[in-house]
C-alpha cells in the first residue's frame, strides 16, 4: 500500500484519469488533481473530499511547476500526448520527481525516448511512458515470455477485444497520430520503425486465442505502442501487433459510443485477451492476459508503476519501458486482482 505519498494526476478528470485517482486512493496514496479546466477539476474534487486540485496547462510551464510542487510523482493521463508529454516531463525533471504516462501514441512515446533518455538518466529520474494497456501490458508480457533472454526472432502481440468504444481522448490522440503520419502506416521490421504508404486495406488472418475467446479474425499491421516499448530494451527485429476486426470497426465508426459504465466502479462490460507469442528459431513461447475494460485496467498498471518507483523496486533510471525498469513477472503477479494470466 502507498504510504501517504502525494501523486499528481495531470488530466485527472478524463476517463482514464478518474480511474487512476480512485486507484491511488485505494492504494493509500494522496492524489493531487491537476488539469486545465477549473470547473471539471472542482467537480471531480467534490467527489473526493479532502483531495486538493490545482489548475495547470501544458502550455504554461510556470503553472505546471506550481501544480507539481510538493508531489512525489506525476501520472500524465491527458492526451494527445504529442502535446502534453514533453511539457509534463520537463516539469517533472525540474521538480526531480518520477513521471509515468498512459500514452498509446506511437510517435509521442518515441519522442519521449528520443528527447529525454539522456536528460532523465543524468537527473536520476524515472520516466516511464506507455504505462497502460497498450504499450505497457504488452511489454510486460513479452518480457516475461522471454525469461532470462533478451533476444528473439519475432514478437507477436494479438489484441482480442470484445469491443472498442473509444474515449474522446483516444479519438483526439488518433487524429494527431494520423496527421503526423501524413497518410502513412507504421510497422517495426528489420530492427527499425518504418513508415510506408499503402492505400489498400490491412490484411486479415485468423488468430487462435486461448479459450474461451477461440478463433477470431484479426487485422495484421494494426500497429500499437508495443513497437516502441518492446524494442527499446529487447533485441527483436520483428514486432507485429494485431487487432480483432470487430474492435477495429468500432474504433473507426463515426458514431461509435463512448465507454458505458455497468457497475459502481465505472468499468464497462468490455473484455479483452492479450495473446503474446515470442519466436526464437523453432522455439515458441506464449503468454496471455485477460481482463475487463482496457481503460480501467490502465489505472492499476500506472499506479503499480508509481508504487514500485517510489519504493525503489526498479532496475534502471531515466526513460525506460515497463519491461526494462520493473521485474516483469513479479509486476504481473501483483495485478492478479485485475488480470488473469495463462500460457
Neighbours of 134 (CB within 10 A): 25
Q: How far is CA 164 from CA 21, 223, 243, in A?
A: 23, 16, 10
Residue 2: pLDDT over 80 = no
Question: How far, in Å, CA of 125 to CA of 72, rounded?
Answer: 12
Question: How far, in Å, CA of 305 to CA of 2, rounded?
Answer: 12
Q: 258 with 326, same domain?
A: no
Q: 142 with 288, same domain?
A: yes
Dump pLDDT digits (tens) for 61-72. 999 999 999 999
Neighbours of 183 (CB within 10 A): 10
In the numeric block, the cell 510542487 is attached to 69
pLDDT of 225: 98
Question: How far, in Å, CA of 285 to CA of 276, rounded?
Answer: 8
Residue 37: pLDDT over 70 = yes
CATH number at residue 76: 3.40.50.720
pLDDT of 1: 63
Q: 129 with 187, same domain?
A: no
Last residue of a domain, one of 292, 309, 332: 292
Q: 302 with 192, same domain?
A: no
Last residue of a domain, one of 271, 292, 313: 292
In the numeric block, the cell 534502471 is attached to 316
Dump pLDDT digits (tens) for 232-288. 999 999 999 999 999 999 999 999 999 999 999 999 999 999 999 999 999 999 999
Provide CB contacts within 8 A for 266, sequence distance 6+: 18, 19, 22, 296
Q: 128 with 141, same domain?
A: no
What 3 state SS string does 271-326 have? EEEEEEEEEECCEEEEEEEEEECCCCCHHHHHHHHHHHHHHCCCCCCEECCHHHHC
At 323, give phi and psi (nearest 5°).
Answer: -70, -25
pLDDT of 68: 98
Question: How far, in Å, CA of 130 to CA of 132, rounded?
Answer: 5
Binned at pLDDT 50, 70 and 90, residue 8 comes out as very high
- The mean of the pLDDT values for the chain is 96
Percentage of the chain modeled with pLDDT above 90: 96
Q: 77 with 56, same domain?
A: yes
Determine the average pLDDT of the residues in 224-230: 98
Binned at pLDDT 50, 70 and 90, residue 142 comes out as very high
Question: How far, in Å, CA of 200 to CA of 284, rounded?
Answer: 31
Q: 217 with 251, same domain?
A: yes
- Beta bridge mates, 208: 215
pLDDT of 200: 81
Q: What cell was used for 137?
A: 501490458
Reported pTM: 0.97
| Residue 254 domain flag | yes
| Residue 1 domain flag | no
Q: What cell was used for 42?
A: 472542482
Q: How far is CA 113 from CA 7, 98, 121, 128, in A?
A: 23, 15, 11, 9
Q: 200 with 126, same domain?
A: no
Q: 113 with 27, same domain?
A: yes
Q: 94 with 17, same domain?
A: yes
**What is the SS3 assignment for 136?**
helix
| Residue 259 domain flag | yes
Q: 309 with 226, same domain?
A: no
Angle at 260 between CA 256 and CA 264, to 5 degrees: 170
The number of distinct structural domains making up the chain is 2
| Residue 99 domain flag | yes
- What domain range includes position 217? 137-292
At 175, give phi and psi (nearest 5°).
Answer: -65, -40
In the numeric block, the cell 519501458 is attached to 321
pLDDT of 194: 95
At 41, give phi and psi (nearest 5°).
Answer: -65, -45
| Nearest CA among 16, 343, 328 for reference residue 172 | 16
Binned at pLDDT 50, 70 and 90, residue 183 comes out as confident
Q: 66 with 154, same domain?
A: no
Instruction: Please say whether the beta carbons of 130 and 109 come within 8 A.
Output: yes
| Residue 105 domain flag | yes
Amino acid at each position: 500500500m502507498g504510504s501517504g505519498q502525494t501523486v499528481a494526476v495531470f488530466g485527472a478528470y478524463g476517463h482514464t484519469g478518474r480511474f487512476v485517482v480512485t486507484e491511488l486512493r485505494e492504494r493509500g496514496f494522496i492524489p493531487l488533481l491537476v488539469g486545465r479546466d477549473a470547473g471539471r477539476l472542482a467537480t471531480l474534487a467534490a467527489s473526493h473530499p479532502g483531495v486538493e486540485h490545482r489548475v495547470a496547462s501544458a502550455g504554461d510551464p510556470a503553472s505546471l511547476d506550481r501544480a507539481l510542487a510538493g508531489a512525489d510523482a506525476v501520472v500524465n493521463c491527458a492526451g494527445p500526448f504529442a502535446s502534453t508529454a514533453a511539457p509534463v516531463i520537463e516539469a517533472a525533471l525540474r521538480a526531480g520527481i518520477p513521471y509515468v504516462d498512459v500514452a498509446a501514441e506511437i510517435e509521442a512515446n518515441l519522442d519521449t525516448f528520443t528527447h529525454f533518455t539522456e536528460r532523465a538518466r543524468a537527473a536520476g529520474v524515472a520516466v516511464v511512458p506507455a504505462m497502460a494497456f497498450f504499450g505497457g501490458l504488452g511489454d510486460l508480457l513479452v518480457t516475461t515470455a522471454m525469461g532470462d533472454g533478451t533476444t528473439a526472432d519475432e514478437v507477436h502481440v494479438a489484441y482480442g477485444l470484445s469491443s472498442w468504444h473509444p474515449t474522446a481522448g483516444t479519438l483526439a490522440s488518433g487524429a494527431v497520430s494520423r496527421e503526423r503520419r501524413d497518410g502513412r502506416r507504421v510497422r517495426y521490421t528489420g530492427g527499425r520503425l518504418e513508415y510506408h504508404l499503402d492505400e489498400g486495406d490491412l490484411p486479415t488472418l485468423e488468430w487462435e486465442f486461448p479459450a474461451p475467446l477461440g478463433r477470431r479474425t484479426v487485422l495484421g499491421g494494426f500497429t500499437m505502442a508495443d513497437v516502441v516499448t518492446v524494442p527499446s530494451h529487447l533485441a527483436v527485429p520483428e514486432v507485429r501487433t494485431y487487432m480483432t476486426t470487430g474492435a477495429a470497426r468500432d474504433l473507426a465508426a463515426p458514431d461509435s459510443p463512448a465507454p458505458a459504465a455497468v457497475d459502481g466502479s465505472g468499468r464497462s462490460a468490455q473484455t479483452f485477451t492479450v495473446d503474446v507469442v515470442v519466436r526464437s528459431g523453432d522455439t515458441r513461447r506464449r503468454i496471455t492476459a485477460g481482463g475487463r475494460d482496457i481503460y480501467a485496467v490502465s489505472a492499476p498498471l500506472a499506479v503499480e508503476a508509481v508504487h514500485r518507483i517510489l519504493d525503489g523496486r526498479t532496475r534502471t533510471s531515466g526513460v525506460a519501458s515497463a519491461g526494462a525498469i520493473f521485474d516483469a513477472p513479479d509486476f504481473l503477479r501483483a495485478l492478479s486482482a485485475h488480470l488473469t494470466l495463462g500460457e
